[in-house]
């Protein structure tokens, strides 16, 4: 059944029912589906619930007491139509599910979960969208699920396990960086130009000029001061450089690997025992 061709007029013309069966592995999803259907305007009188009880019967709004009570509380007494029978198919037929589909859902319910049915009328596509959104298994995708009609023959399940790698990351300290200051001395040589004064004596003979005085001046002297520039060194601290310290995250990719195991099915046949399905490997004794 294609989800595109689910309008009510098309289904009625082809003789199909407007009742949608939806199986939920998780009862919480079933509760959510009923709540969303009610919020969308679907009447709870058109909604049915089936559970598998401890005696192996299929009942509407019965079954495990605590679970059944949870779903009873979703409906008022006038909205419930309780019905039970020792024949599971009879119960599902009462809910509007054809017998051929009922066998699928009967075996689904035997593994637990909840079956919800809805008489969608002309809003079939809208209802189906809500049910799918709440993780429902319907007649359109139940073929891909692990249910089969085994009738009254007991069945057993064998789980095949496989290992998967799950990667966890934790932050560990790789190291630390300490920054400190220390004083380092170095000798600098600076050439500084300096000026000094020197006394220059210039002597030259004079002839034929009469002296201005007649007496000698013994011991007379002339004092000429002499100066020079001297260099004085002064040291003053100045800011030579600034250092900023921070951290940043650098993204790298690391490859991790490990061996994982998984279980595979092996079927050993004895004699002419028929085996259906497609086992991984088959051995005949």
- List, for residues 153-162, the tens digit of each pLDDT value: 445 677 788 8
Question: CB of 229 within 8 A of CB of 195?
Answer: yes
Q: Report if pTM > 0.75.
A: no
DSSP assignment string, 147-210: ----TTS--------B---------------------------------B-----------S--
Q: For residue 76, what pLDDT band results from cuts at 50, 70 and 90?
A: confident
Q: Is the pLDDT of residue 62 over 50?
A: no
Q: What is the Cα 58 distance to its own chain's centre? A: 40
Q: Is the pLDDT of residue 212 over 60?
A: yes
What mean pLDDT is reported for the chain? Answer: 78
Q: Cα separation of 202 and 199, whole Å?
A: 10
3-state DSSP assignment of residue 111: coil
Q: Is the pLDDT of residue 147 over 50?
A: no
User: Which residues, other chains included, contact 196 with Cβ-Cβ below 8 Å and sequence gap of 6+?
Assistant: 226, 227, 228, 229
According to the model, what pLDDT value does residue 15 have? 45
- In this predicted model, which residue has the larger pLDDT, 214 or 74? 74
């Amino acid at each position: 059944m294609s989800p595109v061709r689910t309008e009510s007029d098309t289904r009625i013309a082809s003789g199909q029912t407007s009742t949608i069966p939806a199986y939920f592995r998780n009862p919480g999803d079933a509760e959510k589906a009923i709540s969303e259907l009610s919020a969308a305007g679907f009447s709870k009188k058109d909604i049915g619930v089936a559970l598998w009880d401890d005696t192996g019967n299929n009942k509407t709004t019965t079954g495990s007491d605590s679970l059944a009570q949870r779903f009873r509380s979703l409906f008022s007494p006038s909205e419930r139509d309780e019905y039970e029978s020792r024949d599971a198919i009879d119960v599902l037929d009462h809910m509007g599910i054809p017998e051929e589909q009922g066998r699928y859902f009967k075996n689904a319910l035997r593994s637990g979960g909840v079956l919800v049915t809805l008489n969608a009328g002309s809003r079939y596509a809208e209802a189906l969208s809500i049910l799918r959104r709440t993780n429902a298994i319907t007649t359109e995708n139940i073929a891909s699920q692990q249910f089969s009609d085994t009738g009254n023959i007991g069945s057993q399940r064998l789980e095949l396990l496989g290992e998967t790698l799950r990667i966890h990351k934790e932050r560990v300290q790789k190291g630390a960086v300490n920054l400190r200051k220390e004083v380092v001395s170095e000798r600098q040589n600076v050439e500084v130009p300096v000026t000094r004064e020197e006394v220059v004596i210039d002597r030259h003979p004079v002839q034929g000029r009469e002296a201005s005085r007649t007496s000698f001046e013994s011991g007379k002297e002339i004092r000429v001061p002499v100066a020079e520039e001297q260099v004085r060194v002064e040291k003053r601290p100045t800011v030579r450089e600034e250092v900023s310290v921070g951290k940043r995250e650098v993204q790298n990719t690391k490859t991790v690997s490990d061996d994982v195991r998984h279980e595979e099915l092996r079927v050993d046949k004895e004699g002419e025992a028929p085996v259906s399905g497609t086992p991984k490997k088959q051995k005949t004794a």
